[in-house]
Amino acid sequence: MKNLSTNTRRGFTLIELLVAMTITTIIITVLVSVTAMALDTWNRSRAEIKAARQAKSMIDTMARDFESIVSRKGNAFEWLYAKSNPSSDGPRGSTPPNGIDLIFFSAATDRYEGRIGDSTIDKGGDVSTVGYKLTYKDPIAGEDNDQYKTFVLYRKIVNPNVTFEKILGQASIKTPFETAVNTGDTGADIDNEVNFICENVYQFKTTFHIRFTEGTTSKTVRVPVGHGANSVKNISIKGVGMTDNNGENITGITGATGAQIKSAHLAAVDISITVLSDFGIQQMRMRSDLTGTKLEEFIAEHSYQYSKVVQLPGS
């Protein structure tokens, strides 16, 4: 009689398979969640770094211009023009709270395309005109397609020879600056793509620190340009004093005598900008519900604010 042996092969039971699948699902879910959180953190950090770089570049450029600002007393010429001019063409009709048209004279270091001393381009002189403008448009093509529009800050520089011929010695510098063209320029418009300096700038503000003498005391007042409380919408600095462009004394020195107004000068400028993340700009293009308080909360969540106080010559 022969004994027959058989090999019994036992597989997984249905219960064991279900348990294994449940554990695997939990592990995958955790991994996906952790990965998503890591990617979100990375994207936010990347957006903040990009915003910081753009803001630093813009603020450093403006600081250099202000550090070399040029003005003279004892004349009726205009030396600085600043006007609150928020863009009326934001995403889905939104309007940035503060955009400043800013024009002033400066010994800018990048005049003549930075080739100072090169006789083929440097026509002599060192007083240039610089201007800044914030608008909402496509920074590359300038087209009407809203898909690529963003808040763009532009900077235009008019070289010393053109400044001397067209702008210096004028009672108002806005119009001659807007029409002045350097040799080789593609156009006079300040928002031409060659004048691009920084994008995603939702808000651009300046606050002027103005010093004057009251009796025997030197007094400094802060004058923000904008639409907020205690702000002025315009400011003009001329060789005979400072006004709000309507011929009225600027806020903070109302009631001062003519001599006090004439003695006033800029001591410092506070530059402040709010830069939106790329995600913030995309959402503003797509969402129609971003108005009022909801818009303010959205901007606070998806923007980064930077500021710098620039001490001016002779302050």
Euclidean distance between CA atoms 170 and 121, whole angstroms: 25
Nearest C-alpha neighbor of 137 from the set 281, 272, 271, 279 = 281
214-271 residue pLDDT tens = 777 788 888 888 776 677 888 888 887 777 656 666 655 666 666 666 677 888 999 9
List, for residues 7-61, the tens digit of each pLDDT value. 555 667 878 888 888 999 999 988 888 888 888 777 777 777 777 787 788 888 8
Buried b (16+ CB within 10 A) or exposed e, 209-247: bbbbeeeeeeeeeebbbbeeeebbebbbbbeebbbbbee
* pLDDT score of 130 more than 90: yes
Instruction: Examine the pLDDT at 90 and tell me if it is beyond 70.
Output: no
| Whole-number pLDDT of residue 175 | 93
Strands 128-137, 150-158: pairing is antiparallel
**Beta carbons of 187 and 268 less than 8 angstroms apart:** no
Q: For residue 88, what pLDDT is reported? A: 56
**Is the confidence at residue 118, as pLDDT, over 70?**
yes
Give the per-residue pLDDT at 215.
72
Confidence band, pLDDT 50/70/90 cuts, at residue 296 = confident
Sign of the CA dihedral running 11, 16, 22, 26: negative
Determine the Cα–Cα distance for residues 71 and 298; give it in Å rounded to an integer: 41
**pLDDT, average across residues 88-106:** 72
Give Dmax over CA atoms of the chain in angstroms. 133
Length of the chain (residues)? 315
In the sheet with 217-225, reading across from the earlier edge strand, the strands are: 217-225, 201-214, 265-276, 303-311
How far apart are the C-alpha atoms of 214 and 221, rounded to whole Å? 12
- Condensed to tens digits (0 to 9), the pLDDT of residues 150-201 reads 888 899 999 999 999 999 999 999 999 999 988 877 777 888 888 888 888 8
Domain ranges within the chain, ordered by starting residue: 38-311
Phi-psi label, residue 252: left if phi above 0, alpha if psi -120 to 50, beta otherwise: left
User: Which pTM does this prediction carry?
Assistant: 0.80
User: Is the pLDDT at 65 greater than 60, yes or no?
Assistant: yes
